[in-house]
Amino acid sequence: MKFLLPFITFLLLTDPTIAQSEAQAMRQVAQELKTQLSRDRAKKVALVRLSFNGNPNTVLGKYFADELAYAFLQSGTDFEVMSNDDFDLAMNEIAADQQRRAANGSTPVNSNNTANNANSNSGDGKVDPWLVGGAAAALGGLLLLTKSSNPLAKVKHFVGGTIVDEGDEILVTFQAVDKDKSVKAMSRARFIKTTKINDLIGSTPQVQSISPPITGTGGRTTMTDVSSRGSIATWRNNSMVFELMSCAQSGQNMECVLQVTPRTKDVNLTIYLENGTRIFAAENQNEYLPAEIVLGDKSSTSYRVEKTLIANYNVRLTFRFSQVQQRINSIAAFAMHCWDSESGYYNVEFKGVSVH
């Protein structure tokens, strides 16, 4: 029996139905928040990292902010959604404006004072820890910047929340506050601590202030280099390198093989089977979705595959397509929807790929 329990635990942590349940829970959260925010006539909503055990800026908090953004995208909203990456970029612009004001002799916003004011001026005297982080600084920035120069001028609501460790589960509470720091929407869900969530919990927390954007990217995940060498193509961003090694067809089956390598840090990488992952045949623009994705020793035939990768060590990534009815000599576009713990969500794309 003592050997059975670890095996059961392993199944719980790796069962694909858990990932599907997590996605369903996020869709339900998005729907509840969307309904409540629509009642408050929300026009633009910014997503802030959730706090974890009192720390307002964590990798896990960013993960759930990004998951909520994706759930909003899937369900559709009546309001504009500012992703956490764009929120961080806006905060950097606010910080730069503060520095310019200080250089010109004006009084810059003090984010610590702003956080203290957020604690003391709340309607019920209580403010969740996430508000003392980025959201409070944003609210302070709104008070000093003119509408024309303020990247958050149209934002009326900030959505963040708290994550609490409850042993085998985490309790995630999403909250939306307006500029008066009044709670306008709330939703809550519990998630089993899967291997991925445990990895994110164990990741190094982000610094307490919003970090500056990486030079040349504007703080966003962008394709910085695409080069082709015959049938081999390379795609890079700030955290990962994707090398397309080959695509080959045999009958109605096709297989595309890549190498993926984290650039400077260990990352948790997720590749989605749907939601943008597909190929388009150059001959007739027919679209095909992968039947299976294999990432190292992990594989999936539904929803997504995920694995923790070690910096500077490459891992084989294979996409398998079935029921390809005609012979394909060239792929017009090969796109994949990805997420990693350093860059968040992004799309990798290769064009003009030869098929052998």
How far, in Å, CA of 77 to CA of 75, rounded? 7
pLDDT at residue 216 tops 50? no
Of 187 and 1, more confident? 187
> Measuring CA to CA, how many Å separate 19 from each of 74, 208, 308?
16, 30, 16
Q: Chain-wide mean pLDDT for the chain?
A: 74
Percent of the chain scoring above 70 in pLDDT: 69
Query: What are 130-148's pLDDT values in tens digits?
Result: 444 444 444 544 444 444 5
Q: Which residues fall within 8 angstroms of residue 156, CB to CB, at 6 or more apart?
A: 42, 43, 44, 45, 178, 179
Q: What is the pLDDT of residue 69?
A: 87
Centre a 10 Å sphere on the Cβ of residue 242 and count the other Cβ atoms it contains.
21
pTM, two decimal places: 0.48
Model confidence band, residue 271 (pLDDT cutoffs 50, 70, 90) = very high
Of 129 and 223, more confident? 129
What is the fold, at CATH topology level, of the domain defined by 225-354? Immunoglobulin-like (2.60.40)
CATH of domain 4-202: 3.40.50.10610
> Measuring CA to CA, how many Å separate 260 from each of 238, 243, 268, 274, 310?
13, 6, 12, 19, 11
Model confidence band, residue 316 (pLDDT cutoffs 50, 70, 90) = very high
State the average pLDDT over residues 249-257. Answer: 90
Query: What are 40-82's pLDDT values in tens digits?
Result: 888 888 888 888 877 766 788 888 988 998 888 887 888 888 8
pLDDT at residue 120 tops 50? no
Q: So where are the chain's domains?
A: 4-202, 225-354
Model confidence band, residue 167 (pLDDT cutoffs 50, 70, 90) = confident
Model confidence band, residue 314 (pLDDT cutoffs 50, 70, 90) = confident
Query: What are 96-119's pLDDT values in tens digits?
Result: 666 666 666 655 444 333 333 333
State the average pLDDT over residues 263-284. Answer: 88
pLDDT at residue 214 tops 50? no
